[in-house]
Structure 1
Amino acid sequence: MAGLGRSFAFLWSSTALSNLADGVLKVGAPLLAVSMTRSPALVSLVGAAATLPWLVLALHAGALADRADRRRIMVRANLVRAAILGTATLLAALGLLNLWLLLAAVLLAGVSEVFADLSAQSILPMAVRTNDLTRANGRVSTAQMIGNDFVGAPVAGLLVVSLPAALYGAPALLYALAGLLLLGMRGAYRVDGPRERRPMRAEIAEALRYLWSHRVLRSLAITAGLLNFANSAYFAVFVLWAVGDGSAIGLAPGEYGLMTTAFAVGAVLGSLLSGRAAAWFGEFRALLGNWLLSSLLLLVPVLVPSPWTLYPTAVLWGLIGAAGNVLVISARQRLIPPELLGRVNSAYRLVGMGGMPIGAALGGVVAEFAGLAAVLVGATGVCLVGVFLVWRALSDQISGPLTSAPTLSDISRSR
């Protein structure tokens, strides 16, 4: 990529392929589940299986990213994902795939994703200059959105109708290629300098103390946790609200894929405009506005359940959400010391994403008893509460950058 160097070019290319695989799997697995059952509780298990590994393994994956070569971790994680989904492809071709094997494949692929993603966020500051972080994160976010939604979603919608076995075979091939591309990055990607090798438990505890003592990161993590919990409940059952003859919106599976493509169009724009938004409004004001608007937009498909309102709403979801993601990730990479980046990132994402499987499963259970609309409206309410909490906690930084990090000596004194 121009101006960002050879290593970033290989990292970006690998990210693009792995996220294309993510997009096919993310959209294809729920659609395949809907073809097997119409139970909200069972369909919601797909979302729970995809995110459960974050709750269980995030801290250990972050500690490993601070101990080992981050590029090697990513290579191995991608190759493991390829092997898992290749096995699922064989089972599907033999007619042996059922809902429980589908869930197992999603769960195991999610385990590898935890290690790959945490190392990817920690390796980026080692591949580009500090001043280029926001621009590099914008490029990475664009690749993620294009792969996850713009290309992956319609491909998944097509495959689920024409060739279901390829829902696993195509991602398997893409993950393998993504792993091999990382070998083109020059140099070693482990933290420089001598480090005392301590028990992993002690290193994880240090990261947790740092996150908790850092007012900005702590507030953002808690709010992200509430937003992700609510969004997981919302989108775990949204496919039932949107797809099928008996649904509120009445989309066909292929049209659902187009909805996520519309999301990606907005997300690409949001990723590219995030830096300008921060310059115009201030980093925190831009982030707060993003979270507030994206939360309110969750009500649109409930109040006006029509494809004509869903598609433009999806564009806005993508635009606003992607810009917010770039701002948060760039702030974390600036504020966290390099020797703690993997572990504190993992602690942040544990708080931010650990509630996702619980939210997805709870959304399915509530929908069984109270209906889909109750889940969609309730999730919106939780999002608004989260936005209010972060505004209260960080209102003194409303016009400035997300700063004020404690030093490592401060953390040491708090032990």
Structure 2
Amino acid sequence: MTGPGEGARHPLREAPFARLWVSGLLTETGRWVLQLALPLYVLALTRSPLVTSVVAMLGLLPSLVVAPLAGALVDRFDRRRFLIVVSLAQAAALTPLLWVEDAGDLWRVYLVAGAEAVLTMAFESVKNVALPAFVAPGQLVSANAAIGLNASLGRLVGSSLGGLLLGWAGLRLVLGSAMAAFLVAAVLAATIPRATGAHEPGGAGRGELWPGLRDALRAIREVPALRGTFQCVALLSLAQGMFVVLFLLFVTDLLGAGEAEAGLLRGVQAVGGFAGTVTVGVVTRRLGAPRLLSVGVLCFGAVSAVTWNLSQAPLGLTVYAALFALAGVPAVWLMAAWLSLVQQSSPPRVRGRVMACVLGLADGLQAVGMLAAGLLTGVMSPLAALDLQAALLLAAGLLTLRTLPAGRSGATAGAPADAKAAGPVRRAAD
């Protein structure tokens, strides 16, 4: 494991973290294969944006309900074994989709989307909570940026593959590729040594689920960095939920393109993700994690607004591909910043529950955003709805700029104030 004095050593040079990273990359790839292909499949089956948004929404709401339980499990059990079981379950949960033939089988899609959302949230919770045990504190933002990069790479490979496979061979080949990704992720998780942070339960005793959840919610309320990050993630998630549905209309209605082009635009953001990962260390040293979050969200919102409104000009697909790639830079910055703030500002004994609460909130508000997008398309143009989505991103950046304490110390910016505020929470948790 990286020690405190090894700040120059890149986290990916540590074998346990590298295995966690690759396992996460495969899971992200499988998730993005499904996240692009399933809504497109449902849209083609029903020709209804509202039904498409409901399918996507039902894929997120269950995780909001299950988040407290998942957080408690993350705090209590062997995290390495947890990763293996969840990855295997993700592969097995896809099997009902093999019997989907027409709109009468949509209930199978609802069921699988909900199960995959719960399992994805559980995987993300344990991966993000275990991460600080793999790297030195000063490298936490860089490690989270690497995690953000594998999310971008998963998007690049998974969404491109999902669009191409769906258009070329149909749903069954899409399912086969996602299953394979989840199974290999389970094998890799099994190679993580038990002596690392993958087996680092938080120590919560059995029967402490609800008291532990109360302590996690109290920490979010009382710790300034957690409270500000929580508010920012809420607005980001609402905007992201709208994007999931509106993006399909952006491609099909405003650009006049199809499945392959949709996969390309969703995937090319990974190109910018590389640049974001390379630059995040320098930018964090200059700004600190709180300001990195603000700047990342504001830049992301600005690029989104420009992209949506350029659709009114007769431009080629290359221009939009370049803009989506550019958006990948602040996307990695903001993800690395908010994950680092949550990881380092959370009381250790309830860190899993805090992370699960944040991820559960994100999924719940993404579902609200998806439903809102489906409803908005009935009363306003796709471009107006997309402009509203960009406005939410800009509002999130301005709110974060105002509420989070500034600092240049990376992920620990504002730590003295946070530690003071978290004192009663830590005592209650202990």
Q: TM-score, normalised by structure 1?
A: 0.91
Shift of 1:230: 1.8
Q: Which range moved further: 123-132 or 67-76? A: 123-132
Report the CA distance shift for 1:374/1:193 in structure 2 as closer, same or farther (over 3 A).
Answer: closer
Matched, 1:256 2:270: no
* Structure 1 runs not aligned, ≥5 long: none
* Structure 2 runs not aligned, ≥5 long: 1-9
- 1:403 corresponds, among 390, 411, 414, to 414
Shift of 1:283: 3.0
Determine the structure 1 residue equivalent to 2:4: none
Determine the structure 2 residue equivalent to 1:91: 99
Shift of 1:45: 2.1
Determine the structure 2 residue equivalent to 1:311: 321
Determine the structure 1 residue equivalent to 2:51: 42
Q: Is the 8 A contact 1:222 1:352 kept in 2?
A: no
Matched, 1:326 2:336: yes
- 2:284 corresponds, among 278, 283, 287, to 278
User: Which consecutive aligned stretches of 4+ in structure 1 deviate over 6 angstroms post-superposition?
Assistant: 94-97
Report the CA distance shift for 1:277/1:236 in structure 2 as closer, same or farther (over 3 A).
Answer: same
Report the Cα distance in structure 2 between the residues aligned to 1:321 and 1:193, rounded to whole angstroms: 30
Report the CA distance shift for 1:135/1:193 in structure 2 as closer, same or farther (over 3 A).
Answer: closer
Deviations 1:178-230 (A, max 9, x none): 11211111115444686543431111111111111001111111111012102
- Give the CA RMSD over aligned residues: 2.4
Report the CA distance shift for 1:142/1:193 in structure 2 as closer, same or farther (over 3 A).
Answer: closer
Report the CA distance shift for 1:192/1:84 in structure 2 as closer, same or farther (over 3 A).
Answer: closer
Report the Cα distance in structure 1 between the residues aligned to 2:401 and 2:20, rounded to whole angstroms: 35
Matched, 1:82 2:88: no
Report the Cα distance in structure 1 between the residues aligned to 2:69 and 2:51, rounded to whole angstroms: 29
| Secondary structure of residue in 1 paired with 2:117 | helix
Q: Is the 8 A contact 2:377 2:385 kept in 1?
A: yes
Q: Which amino acid aligns with 1:294?
A: F
Report the CA distance shift for 1:193/1:343 in structure 2 as closer, same or farther (over 3 A).
Answer: closer
Determine the structure 1 residue equivalent to 2:136: 129
- 2:167 corresponds, among 161, 166, 181, to 161
Report the Cα distance in structure 2 between the residues aligned to 1:84 and 1:195, rounded to whole angstroms: 30
Matched, 1:357 2:367: yes
Matched, 1:146 2:181: no
Deviations 1:301-350 (A, max 9, x none): 33111434321210121111112111221232222233222111112223
Report the CA distance shift for 1:279/1:97 in structure 2 as closer, same or farther (over 3 A).
Answer: farther
Report the Cα distance in structure 2 between the residues aligned to 1:348 and 1:50, rounded to whole angstroms: 17
Q: Which amino acid aligns with 1:137?
A: N
Equivalent runs, 1:372-383 vs 2, <5 Å? 372-383=382-393
Q: Which amino acid aligns with 1:406?
A: A
| Secondary structure of residue in 2 paired with 1:171 | helix
Report the Cα distance in structure 2 between the residues aligned to 1:16 and 1:97, rounded to whole angstroms: 34
Equivalent runs, 1:140-289 vs 2, <5 Å? 140-147=147-154, 149-164=155-170, 165-187=172-194, 189-191=198-200, 195-243=204-252, 247-289=253-295
Report the CA distance shift for 1:323/1:414 in structure 2 as closer, same or farther (over 3 A).
Answer: same
Q: Which amino acid aligns with 2:425?
A: I
Shift of 1:41: 0.7
| Secondary structure of residue in 1 paired with 2:257 | coil
Q: Which amino acid aligns with 1:375?
A: A
Shift of 1:82: 0.4
Report the CA distance shift for 1:116/1:195 in structure 2 as closer, same or farther (over 3 A).
Answer: closer
Deviations 1:18-77 (A, max 9, x none): 111112111111221221122221111233133223322222211110011112222111
| Secondary structure of residue in 2 paired with 1:370 | coil
